[in-house]
Structure 1
Amino acid sequence: MIKTAIFGATGYAGAELIKILSSHTEVDIIFAASKTYAGKSLNSIHPHAPDILLQDTEKADLHQADLVFLCLPSSSGMHIAVDALKGGAKVIDLSADFRLDDAAKYMNWYGTTHLAPELLADAVYGLSEANRSKLKNAQLVANPGCYPTSVLLPIWPIIINSIFDNNRPIIVDSKSGVSGAGRSPKQHLHFVEVSGNFQPYKIGRVHRHVPEMEQQLANWDPSIPELIFTPHLLPVPRGILSTIYLPIKKGNREDSIRAMLRETYSNEPFIKLLPSNQNVSLAHVLHSNTCAFGMNLTGNTLIITSAIDNLVKGAAGQAVQNMNIIYGITETCGLT
């Protein structure tokens, strides 16, 4: 059994992670930690969660664990990652702390000094389907953000197969449910602000997921131009739907692109390419680890619509998928 510890257990992603791990046949949760709710049961915070007594984040004994999951806000868990790795545990970090490969870039986007810049080069970006071979020997995994997961998975085969036209930008229009903003109370996330409303936010090159997406795209093709990304807040609890406008080189047909995508993902249990006459919706993916997407070629622009559950494939589910890969467990174990 894999002895696991979860920090940030009372956040939405942390609670989802514990829900998945509780039914995983190869996992033993040795403790779950919370700074705010230490000493309380997790199901007193999330009624559908298991009855797990929460430990104090700063007092939990890392040395019991084989694997540590960090579900903490960015910059809050770096010292825990360092201590866990020194103690011989593996770490899967669901925050952004190890996603960027440059400490100066991290400082620029997150406004704080990185405490472990020497680990950035060793962290494996945990986009499961694209980086499976690297994940197999990983000690430190940077779990991808929810928006990047919804964008990168459908376009990865197109980029690496060199049918992308790098003379035009990639335009991404994404919509996320409210849980994507985390559990801390914020005025613009109050029910009366969100219900019956729909709004963009952080327009332009402002959202922190932009450098993460651009970095991964550049790893696949250094000639990728800047990304134009506009996120929106949906008045629903969970789910992400991204519309991606991807410029394609002349001479490529929709049927050949579809065949290439189908071949790439034919053996991937969590990727679903929809038929040409079917449009993707949040209903295809909610409460599952699936990324479902459809595509349509209009002129020389491939329009991809992609959907994930931001708390599962966009966070906890992908983290468990990465754990399964690391430990050589059947990849679908514990996941739907």
Structure 2
Amino acid sequence: MTSTQTFRAAVLGASGYTGADLIRLAARHANIEIVALIAKAHAGQPLAKVFPHLASLDLPSLVTSDEVDWDGVDVAFCGLPHGTAHGEIAKLPERVKVIDMSADFRLRDLDTYAQWYGGEHGAPHLLPDTVYGLTEHYREAIADARLVACPGCYPTAVLLALLPLAKGALIATDGIIVDAKSGVSGAGRSLKQNILFSEAGEGLSPYGVGTHRHVPEIEQELGQAAGRAVTVNFTPHLVPMTRGELCTCYVPLAGGTSADDLRQGLREAYASSPFVRVVDEGIIPATQHVRGSNYCHIGVFADRIPGRAIVISTIDNLVKGSAGQALQNFNVMHGLDETTALEQLPLFP
């Protein structure tokens, strides 16, 4: 569907990487007018000073949320850190639709949130009406939602690869192992020792071993698909590149299924999904194939271990893993063509 209607948008967390990519994409959306850029630490500065690569855009300077006239805002994109977003979102007028790229509304269980994020949820009254924003699997609910919680980058890649297989009982959900790797931008823009060039460059390192906060999100959605509690062995790794994410999932096959069955099941599940491409047998997905785009590539391989298969998925962590998926959800929420402003092809080389 095409429309000439314009929606006035505010971006909270506009000085972060996800905020910057959201601005980059939304600036070319025919139905979006960016009217407010919110970044507390950089308030008063022009966008061009914070992000010189966006200097050609005619956009307002950064401000605090208290300076925004929310009566003039239709939709808010939130790229704030976890633990911060729920407080800001709770203050917004109910008429403002919210697309949250933080972790604050992804988990449905309050105790699970408190356990993994180290504190009580600040806006539990909003959770019952929140829709999990994995577009390909929740389109109908997203279309009617006021608050959409976009998945984390790792859950996006893992769940796109595994949800159809769990739903279709093509795999068993015991013994799933996920080996995940992400570029340094996934750690955010703040100063951290482990992402300094001298620390992260020319090496590969695991982190969050057994404790990464995206684990309960993956288990929540896989468990719902399988109709039972699911536990996943998940280990992320930091790769010395800026963008990109690749997840290699080792899965047990359900009785009698094969890698070919898994590939066919994925193709059927995503036949009407413009951004998910199940690659042909023998093609190995790589981060270079999706960089800068909203695409997800998925490949399936037979494991040499009988009764198992290997499913590999790759995305750009800042686009399909965050800002692009947020814009995709915006399109669905407003009855627009799902691909609007997301048509750009991957950057290569």
TM-score (norm 2): 0.93
Question: Equivalent residue for 2:182?
Answer: 176
Matched, 1:75 2:83: yes
Separation of aligned partners in 2, 1:315 and 1:326: 16
Aligned mate of 2:99, from 83, 92, 96: 92
Secondary structure of the corresponding residue to residue 115 of structure 2: helix
2:65 is the counterpart of 1:57: yes
> C-alpha separation between the residues in 1 aligned to 2:336 and 2:43?
32
Q: 2:28: which partner in 1?
A: 23
Check the 8 A contact 2:142/2:333 in 1, yes or no: yes
1:122 to 114, 120, 129: 129
Kindly state the Cα deviation for residue 92 of structure 1 after the two structures are TM-superposed. 0.7
Corresponding residue number in structure 2 for 1:328 = 335
Percent sequence identity over aligned pairs: 43
Give the Cα separation in 2 of the matches to 1:108 and 1:170: 23
State how many pairs are aligned: 333
- Aligned equivalent of 1:222: 227
- Give 1:51 deviation, angstroms: 4.5
Does the aligned pair in 1 maintain the 2:287–2:316 contact within 8 Å?
A: yes
Q: Is the 8 A contact 1:43 1:51 kept in 2?
A: no
Distance in 2 separating the partners of 1:249 and 1:97: 34
Shift of 1:222: 2.8
Superposition map of 1:145-224 within 5 A: 145-166=152-173, 168-204=174-210, 206-224=211-229
Any idea what the Cα deviations from partners look like across 1:274-322, whole Å, max 9, x if unmatched?
1112111111110000011111122211201110000000000000000
Unaligned regions of 5+ residues in structure 1, if any? none
Answering whether residue 296 of structure 2 is matched by residue 288 of structure 1, we say no
SS at match of 2:87: helix
| 2-structure distance, mates of 1:59, 1:111 | 30
Secondary structure at 1:141's aligned position in 2?
Answer: strand
Does the CA contact (< 8 Å) of 2:165 and 2:171 recur in 1? Answer: yes
- SS of the residue 1:130 aligns to: helix
| Deviation of the 1:223 alpha carbon | 2.5
Per-residue deviation, residues 65-122 of structure 1 (Å, max 9, x unmatched): 11111100011121221222x3411111100110111222211111122111121121
The DSSP-based 3-state class of the residue aligned with 1:330 is coil
Query: AA paired with 1:98?
Result: F
Root-mean-square deviation (CA, aligned residues, Å) is: 1.2
Map 1:278-317; keep pairs closer than 5 Å: 278-298=283-303, 299-317=306-324
AA at the equivalent of 2:139: R
The alpha carbon displacement at 1:224 in A equals 4.5
Tell me the distance in 2 between the aligned counterparts of 1:107 and 1:259.
39
Q: Deviations over 1:27-73 (max 9, x none)?
A: 11111111111111112111111353111233222222111111000
Give the equivalent residue in structure 2 for 1:261: 266
Q: Which moved more, 1:251-260 or 1:107-116?
A: 251-260
Distance in 2 between residues matched to 1:235 and 1:256, nearest whole Å:
35
CA distance in 1, matches of 2:112, 2:90: 20
Deviations 1:182-205 (A, max 9, x none): 00000111001111011001111x
SS of alignment partner, residue 294 of structure 1: strand
Q: What is the letter of the counterpart of residue 94 of structure 1?
A: M
CA contact (8 A) 2:263 2:299 kept: no
Q: CA deviation at 1:214?
A: 0.6
TM-score of the superposed pair, with normalisation by structure 1: 0.96
Which residue identity does 2:81 align to in structure 1?
Answer: P
**Runs of 4 or more off by more than 3 Å in structure 1?**
none
Distance, in Å, in 1 between the alignment partners of 2:241 and 2:219 is 28
3-state SS in 1 of match to 2:177? strand
Contact 1:210 1:227 in 2 (8 A): yes
Q: Is the 8 A contact 1:198 1:232 kept in 2?
A: yes
